[in-house]
Structure 1
Amino acid sequence: MTDSAQPPRRPTTRTAAGGTAPRSSSAPQRRSTRPTTGAAASKPTSGWVQTGVTATGASSGGKGGGAGGSGGGKRPTKQPEGPRWKRVLKRVGIGALIAGLVAIAVGSITLMVVYSRLEVPEASDVALAQASTVYWADGETEMGRIGEVDRNIIDCAALPDHVPHAIVAAEDRSFYTNPGIDFFGTARALFNTVVLGKKQGGSTITQQYVERYYFGETTTDIPGKIKEALLALKVDSEQTKDEVLCNYMNTIYFGRGAYGIDAAAQAYFAKPASELSVSEAAMLAGIIPAPSAWDPRLSPEKAEQRWNYVLDGMVEGEFITQDERDAQTFPETVEYVAADTFAGPTGYLLRTAINEAMSVLDVDQEEIELGGYRIVTTFQPDHQQAVEDAVAAMPEDHADNLHVAASTVDATTGAITAMYGGADYLTVQRNAVTQDIAQAGSTFKPFAMIAALSTGWSLNTTYTSDNLMTVEGFDNQVRNFGGTNYGRINMITATEKSVNTYYAQLGVDVGNDKVRDVAIAAGLPEDTVGLDANPANVLGTASPTQLAMVHAYTTIADTGLEKDPYSVQTVVDTDGTTVFEHEVHAQRVFDEDVIADATYAMQQVVNSGTARKAAALGRPLGGKTGTSNDNRSAWFIGFSPQIVGAVSLYQVGEDGSVEQITPFGGYSSITGGSVPADIWVEMMGPILEDYEVASFAPRADVGEDRGVISTPTPTPSSTPSPTPTETSEPIVTPSPTETAEPTPTPEPSATPEPSVTAGASGDGNGNGNGNGNGTGTAVDGALGG
């Protein structure tokens, strides 16, 4: 039988001795796929069984060959490539990739299903605007309604083309080409709102339109943002670009209470939107992102900057030519007349409360006007009436440009119970209590006293306190009001009579930095104009607002417990849910015994000092008068253990600077102990009737009598060039004697909706050394209003 005719051979396996043995039928033979020619075929291949090849490499013709090698019959385990962690990471990465692809696929399918089922709601079912209501402290008596919606829906076909084109140039330059959403902008908005916690609306006109027209507010969660984007896509597919843009223009808020382009045209230019010029349309479009803040009457520079941006965008979009753009001039707006809700002194209360509500709720003016909130304030109608009546009773022969500020704050809670920020908010939208500033004058002296007592000094500490004394750190001599030489006096007398030379020395020896720190701890903002550690600060070179000074005095009246003043008790939304309720957070900043001694000295100001008129109210009261240099401002802050009241006067010239108060009411000069004390007594009489008669803690006699720490050299009373910072304030009858500077104070809040006017300013001369330290220029308060 030939080889080719042989029957199939039974598989064999190489034995350890090199021979062959039958292969078990249960172990299938594995054939080598390697080539068997050449040199490679002559080598035994470890671990792989090659049939028909001898150990020496000679062909066997199908028969077993000679002696084979010594290799075993098992295949060795293949060594894995790379370290174990790389293999694990590779497997995890592949798994994550697969999971991600699956998630994307599932998510895409889900979004497609949601999109297919999503229906665009009717406008009448959404965007339901409700005015918010502000209440007096009783929570029942309505003070005013905010946000009667001023909207006039128009047919946009009546608008000139440059009106919608200005909106597109301002808000969404890809509007005519995008699918309704900006994918990158939407992702950014999701990141900002969800990760960073910052509210951000849609970036396209269609998305903004969906938010306002269908949602009614900015969405801040992932599902809301996704629904917003899907609805924007849906709207873009079902409505024409012109329809979307027209509905957007009829919906958007433009400030001044105006909703929609037509109402905005009336509010800013007293004309219908169909008559808007290119320049006017560009201005209105430019302020859309922040109309209350960018109104030209509040921020002319920002408004014009945005106006230029829009015009440039109109050129870029080929809506107007460069020549047409170059021919434009910034438009003049009409004077804004707020609703009658803000008429009279009550308007200042409303604005203060609205600003605070916006701050605590972290919402804007638009949401307050449309949100239907119930805002309960701290203002008590009987307190407010008492303040207004007292101001109205002021002698009428004063200058027309005299300003009056008055306020009362509960010393134990910080609740503002009354405020006279001006005669009529519709006429002047600047709050004299919360925004105007002036140098503090002698009302600052209690901070130096508290600093001394806290450092271990006694009320019995004495200084020689004659007129015209040279004191370390002062460029010029310090003088007392009226040129009085007091001789050696203690801290009580120096406070009662408001003696400048005493307090100038005390501030230097205690440390003017400590005086500043006490003022800040009591409640003055660190960034108060002029609040530094210069030697003259003890005499009131800093220029806080009245509310800031009252804040500090509530700390003194309440045994050294500091708490922020506030005007909003609660805010309830349309569902009846209380979304905000004020909590009093009081912190002890001064030792009770220190304050007991300080209030003892300040009671002498009322009992027999510069505010002796207040003693007629027949209860324990403390306080401090103040008049700035040249009688440019005058005021009195007085308090019981329960409530603090303040009155300040200042006179503003045509250029906005503070000028000397023109004497009136039978007084030869206006000081803190004159008209301000008169008004204070008139208003606090009825208000104090709401409180039980309460006494201050008895004098604790802290510290040591330091005696004469330093003895500045009195200078002969030759004609001095110095300008007194602050003058001591003798008891005032129709010929007052006091000099300290009033401080109208800042208010906590957001950007005011109504405009603000120029406020009081001081020249800073009231520092006792005539060097003009400390500007008194008015600045806006933090809570707008």
Structure 2
Amino acid sequence: MARGRRTPGSGSSDTPRRRTPGSGEGTGKPGNTGTGGGSPQRRSVRDSGLRTSAQEAGRTSRTTAAGGRNGAGRPTPSWKSTASASSGAKRRTRRGAIRGKKRFWNYPRRGKGPVMRWLPGWRFLLGAAGTVLVIGAVLFGIAYAMVEVPEPDDFALAEGSTITYADGESTMGSFAEVDREIIDPTELPEYVGAAIVASEDRRFYSNVGVDPVAILRALWSNLRGNDTQGGSTLTMQYVERYYTGQTSGYVDKFREAILALKIDQQQSKDEILGAYMNTIYFGRGAYGIERAAQEYFGHPASELTVSESALLAGIIPSPGNWDPAVAPDQAQARWERTLAFMVESGDITQAEADSLEFPEVAEPVRTDTYGGPNGYLLTMIRDELIAAGFTEDEIDGGGLTITSTIDADLQADAVAAAESLPEDTPDGVRVALTSIDNSTGGILALYGGPDFLERQRNAATQDVAQGGSTFKAFALIAALENGATLEDRYTSYSPMDIDGHEVNNFDRINRGNIDLATATQHSVNTSYVQLNREYGPENLVDVAHRLGLPEDTSGLEGNLVNVLGTASPHPVDMAEAYSTIASGGVHHDRFIVASVSNRDGDVVYTGGAEGEREFDPQVIADATYAMQQVVDGGTGATASEIGRPAAGKTGSSNDYRSAWFVGFVPQITTSVAMYQIGEDGEEVSMWDGWGGVAPISGGSYPTDIWTRYMSAAVADLPVEEFPERSEPERVYVPPAEPTQEETTEEPSEEPSEEPSEEPTEEPTEEPTDDPTEEPTGDPTETPTDDPSEEPTEDPSEDADGGLLDGLPNGTGDSSGGGGGGNGGSNGSGGP
């Protein structure tokens, strides 16, 4: 019976079910209301094209329980045919659903025109923008975490070192890689910083280190083709100059912005502003507000007015172009702009701004630190610091405060004295002056020349000159150390043959048998060569080294005539050597740097050292007593004009190519050396002299210069006495037996011997073969008939003359003594 039979594909249930159209089950006979037949209504729906996918699949496959074949021609089971049809229908349904939905990525866009389909839609733009923001935020976060605040840039910290005189306040000069002087910004008036903030970053106190508004404004201005602008805040400028150096490119700017954000969190606004003011460039070579104030207005930054502050703040973006000396109109416009912003920010009132006048600005002056006489001092200071272990970078950029030993007043006196020669003084004349503190070895004043930039060779420390009779002091000390006394006597006639050397005295006067004090007072060559022979020229060399002359002093050898000054020392070395005598036999190495402090004020170096005793005090006291006679009535009598106990020794070299006076009081020793250079750099004899003085000997201009300087140097010092000499021995002195008659020949007009070799710029020539030969001259006093008899008059015009001490005196009245006097006034010209 049909009702009870299971139709293939109807399911597993025995209960009749309502069949779903298109299931593919049934016989497919028309009008059959059973399985597979369907009602006319259902057929109508199916035939109208509204068949479901499953129905369409069932119809197409023609697979029924009654019969169907697969692709191989074999019968296909009805259950398999039905499953296949169902699967295909599902796939078609899924593709249709997908085709019916809109995709997020719709590019090029379907259904749009030929142009519009290539333009991104709002979904694309929104998505892209969101993606960029997310990626940017992630990258920024990573960069912020990774970028560390670096150490300050070396250039930002570079601060020139300042050299002061001995008082620690008066400035001598500076060593500067960059002209900057870092100051405490809290010492500045508030309006100085306010002017800079108003001009450079009006939202400085409200922004977080970067200013998006300023960045966008600058970008918009740049895009419009205006002058290129930057959106850097004051903090970003500070970062650029203080931490990173000058930056360029977007990567550098991005890092700069991150650092600005970090630093804004780590430092206060006042700290940032203060460091900025100490770092920024203001033009005229000046870095930092302090140097800017000095360059533009000639006073410290702490004394800046509101008007001056506004000017400096206004020219920061382009100081070279907006300097009032270069573009006064532009400078004034920037000044007015800054004042307007200060009014806007409430730093000053409009009335105050209206009352201000454009400030007067100093003309830019390009001065060289090394110009003039101080250039020699600065070079010495630099050399001494390097020798002490300081590097060039520390000296030029370490912000050191270097206190020298130079006394500002004494240095001015030294320059004035050294440059006091007559107007007709030849251009080639060189003068060297060195003054030393006997208690420490510190150099109090030094003259190495008129201008370091014109002649970069220090006459005091680099030039040399034959020492002449200044070496007799060394022979005297050597003899006293080895048992001699000031009462020891030697014959003094001239000329005298001593071991094959013909030795002459300047004045040809026979003083008979004279003691060492008298021989020193009148610089008697014949007596001193005998003394040197007796106690050994090697001992003179040893004494010279212990006093302070270097081992490599040119010409310092152990020969008989070294007592006449055949060696050529540096003038500064002679000052050090005689300072050892003045200090009672304690040697101090000379120095010019008293101390060095770093930028924090800590002393990192102290110059000088403890002295070392080299000689018995009594030996030195006796030698000093003999040299006092030189000043009291001998070849250096002019020096007595300082009005207090003084001692020293004159010296004149072969053919008067150099002239010296080295003298001292208990507190100060000063050496003065003089020589002349020709047009071709050769040494020139000063026989003819100038200014009415001829020849130029140690007792003339050198002693005059010494006297002028020392009169000022000792003015404020207490008068001190030298130590007492040894108790004089009382012995009988028989008259000397002459072995040779004095010469009485007439004087010649010129020296009898021309220089034996072409001299160089430095007077370093060795003595002639016969170092005692001298030109004849007119003696200033006729010798007595009895050569053993002491002269009836003390010849104050006697000179030493070194190798050629027998040259005649210069012009002038003999009442002036051995000092001669400038311009021929009251003096014989003397030694």
TM-score, length of structure 2 as denominator length: 0.50
How much does 1:575 deviate? 2.7
d(CA) in 1 for partners of 2:534, 2:519: 16
Q: Summarize the Cα distance change of 1:740–1:690 in structure 2 as closer, same or farther, 3 Å threshold.
A: farther
Q: Which segment is superposed worse, 659-668 or 611-620?
A: 659-668
Q: Summarize the Cα distance change of 1:767–1:466 in structure 2 as closer, same or farther, 3 Å threshold.
A: closer
**What is residue 534 of structure 1 aligned with on the other side?**
559
Does residue 693 of structure 2 align to residue 667 of structure 1? Answer: yes
**Structure 1 counterpart SS, 2:469:** helix
Per-residue CA deviations over 1:189-244 (Å, capped at 9, x if unaligned) read xxxxxxxxxxxxxxxxxxxxxxxx9999xxxxxxxxxxxxxxxxxxxxxxxxxxxx
Q: Summarize the Cα distance change of 1:484–1:579 in structure 2 as closer, same or farther, 3 Å threshold.
A: same
**What is residue 384 of structure 2 aligned with on the other side?**
356
d(CA) in 1 for partners of 2:780, 2:715: 28
d(CA) in 2 for partners of 1:584, 1:215: 43
Task: Output the aligned Cα RMSD.
Answer: 3.7
Q: Summarize the Cα distance change of 1:504–1:664 in structure 2 as closer, same or farther, 3 Å threshold.
A: same
Per-residue CA deviations over 1:547-603 (Å, capped at 9, x if unaligned) read 111101111111111111111110011232211012431111111111111111110
d(CA) in 2 for partners of 1:456, 1:709: 23
How much does 1:341 deviate? 1.2
**What is residue 740 of structure 2 aligned with on the other side?**
714
Task: Confirm or deny: 8 A CA contact 2:493 2:742 kept in the other structure.
Answer: no
Correspondences of 1:506-521 after superposition (within 5 Å): 506-521=531-546
The amino acid that maps onto 2:375 is: G
**What is residue 131 of structure 1 aligned with on the other side?**
160
Task: Confirm or deny: 8 A CA contact 1:597 1:701 kept in the other structure.
Answer: no
Per-residue CA deviations over 1:432-451 (Å, capped at 9, x if unaligned) read 11111011111110111111
**What is residue 149 of structure 1 aligned with on the other side?**
178
Correspondences of 1:169-318 after superposition (within 5 Å): none
d(CA) in 2 for partners of 1:708, 1:511: 25
Q: Between the two structures, name the one with larger relative contact order (CA 8 Å, sep ≥ 6).
A: 1
Per-residue CA deviations over 1:57-88 (Å, capped at 9, x if unaligned) read xxxxxxxxxxxxxxxxxxxxxxxxxxxxxxxx
How much does 1:651 deviate? 0.2
**What is residue 397 of structure 2 aligned with on the other side?**
370
d(CA) in 2 for partners of 1:343, 1:734: 45
**What is residue 468 of structure 1 aligned with on the other side?**
495
Task: Confirm or deny: 8 A CA contact 1:458 1:701 kept in the other structure.
Answer: no
Correspondences of 1:365-514 after superposition (within 5 Å): 365-472=392-499, 475-514=500-539
How much does 1:712 deviate? 9.2
d(CA) in 1 for partners of 2:595, 2:780: 44
The amino acid that maps onto 2:445 is: A
How much does 1:708 deviate? 9.6
Which of 621, 626, 633 aligns to 2:651? It is 626
Q: Summarize the Cα distance change of 1:150–1:497 in structure 2 as closer, same or farther, 3 Å threshold.
A: same
The amino acid that maps onto 2:546 is: A
**What is residue 722 of structure 2 aligned with on the other side?**
696
**Structure 1 counterpart SS, 2:501:** coil
d(CA) in 1 for partners of 2:561, 2:713: 36
**What is residue 615 of structure 2 aligned with on the other side?**
590
**Structure 2 counterpart SS, 1:504:** helix
Per-residue CA deviations over 1:65-116 (Å, capped at 9, x if unaligned) read xxxxxxxxxxxxxxxxxxxxxxxxxxxxxxxxxxxxxxxxxxxxxxxxxxx9
Task: Confirm or deny: 8 A CA contact 1:570 1:581 kept in the other structure.
Answer: yes
d(CA) in 2 for partners of 1:388, 1:381: 11
% identical equivalent positions: 45
How much does 1:149 deviate? 2.9
How much does 1:411 deviate? 1.1
**Structure 2 counterpart SS, 1:342:** coil
Q: Summarize the Cα distance change of 1:725–1:617 in structure 2 as closer, same or farther, 3 Å threshold.
A: farther
How much does 1:412 deviate? 1.3
Task: Confirm or deny: 8 A CA contact 1:557 1:640 kept in the other structure.
Answer: yes
How much does 1:716 deviate? 6.3
**Structure 2 counterpart SS, 1:350:** helix
d(CA) in 2 for partners of 1:494, 1:658: 30
The amino acid that maps onto 1:350 is: L
Correspondences of 1:673-752 after superposition (within 5 Å): 673-701=699-727, 713-714=739-740, 717=743, 722-724=770-772, 738-740=799-801
**What is residue 27 of structure 2 aligned with on the other side?**
none
The amino acid that maps onto 1:544 is: P
Correspondences of 1:100-119 after superposition (within 5 Å): none
Per-residue CA deviations over 1:379-436 (Å, capped at 9, x if unaligned) read 0011111112222332111111111111211111111111111001111111111111
d(CA) in 1 for partners of 2:446, 2:774: 27
Per-residue CA deviations over 1:262-294 (Å, capped at 9, x if unaligned) read xxxxxxxxxxxxxxxxxxxxxxxxxxxxxxxxx
d(CA) in 2 for partners of 1:704, 1:552: 32
Q: Summarize the Cα distance change of 1:704–1:580 in structure 2 as closer, same or farther, 3 Å threshold.
A: farther
How much does 1:701 deviate? 3.7
Task: Confirm or deny: 8 A CA contact 1:132 1:145 kept in the other structure.
Answer: yes
d(CA) in 2 for partners of 1:348, 1:559: 30
d(CA) in 1 for partners of 2:452, 2:506: 37
The amino acid that maps onto 2:173 is: G
Q: Summarize the Cα distance change of 1:453–1:374 in structure 2 as closer, same or farther, 3 Å threshold.
A: same
Q: Summarize the Cα distance change of 1:483–1:710 in structure 2 as closer, same or farther, 3 Å threshold.
A: closer
Q: Summarize the Cα distance change of 1:372–1:357 in structure 2 as closer, same or farther, 3 Å threshold.
A: same
Q: Summarize the Cα distance change of 1:700–1:122 in structure 2 as closer, same or farther, 3 Å threshold.
A: closer
Q: Summarize the Cα distance change of 1:660–1:149 in structure 2 as closer, same or farther, 3 Å threshold.
A: same
Q: Summarize the Cα distance change of 1:615–1:735 in structure 2 as closer, same or farther, 3 Å threshold.
A: closer
d(CA) in 2 for partners of 1:738, 1:650: 17
The amino acid that maps onto 1:343 is: G
How much does 1:606 deviate? 0.6
**What is residue 33 of structure 2 aligned with on the other side?**
none
Structure 1 gap ranges (5+): 1-115, 152-212, 217-256, 258-337, 742-764, 770-785
Q: Summarize the Cα distance change of 1:709–1:446 in structure 2 as closer, same or farther, 3 Å threshold.
A: farther
Structure 2 gap ranges (5+): 1-144, 181-241, 246-284, 286-365, 746-751, 754-769, 782-793, 808-831
How much does 1:736 deviate? 6.2
d(CA) in 2 for partners of 1:738, 1:420: 25
Q: Summarize the Cα distance change of 1:367–1:483 in structure 2 as closer, same or farther, 3 Å threshold.
A: same
Correspondences of 1:650-661 after superposition (within 5 Å): 650-661=675-686
d(CA) in 2 for partners of 1:215, 1:456: 73
Per-residue CA deviations over 1:1-20 (Å, capped at 9, x if unaligned) read xxxxxxxxxxxxxxxxxxxx
The amino acid that maps onto 1:481 is: F
d(CA) in 2 for partners of 1:451, 1:546: 21
Compare CA radii of gyration and give the structure with the larger one. 2
d(CA) in 2 for partners of 1:583, 1:650: 31
Q: Summarize the Cα distance change of 1:725–1:549 in structure 2 as closer, same or farther, 3 Å threshold.
A: farther
Task: Confirm or deny: 8 A CA contact 2:432 2:449 kept in the other structure.
Answer: yes
d(CA) in 1 for partners of 2:153, 2:574: 50
The amino acid that maps onto 2:630 is: V
d(CA) in 2 for partners of 1:533, 1:456: 20
Q: Summarize the Cα distance change of 1:127–1:714 in structure 2 as closer, same or farther, 3 Å threshold.
A: farther
Task: Confirm or deny: 8 A CA contact 1:451 1:514 kept in the other structure.
Answer: yes
How much does 1:766 deviate? 5.6
d(CA) in 2 for partners of 1:441, 1:625: 8
**Structure 2 counterpart SS, 1:470:** strand
**What is residue 589 of structure 2 aligned with on the other side?**
564
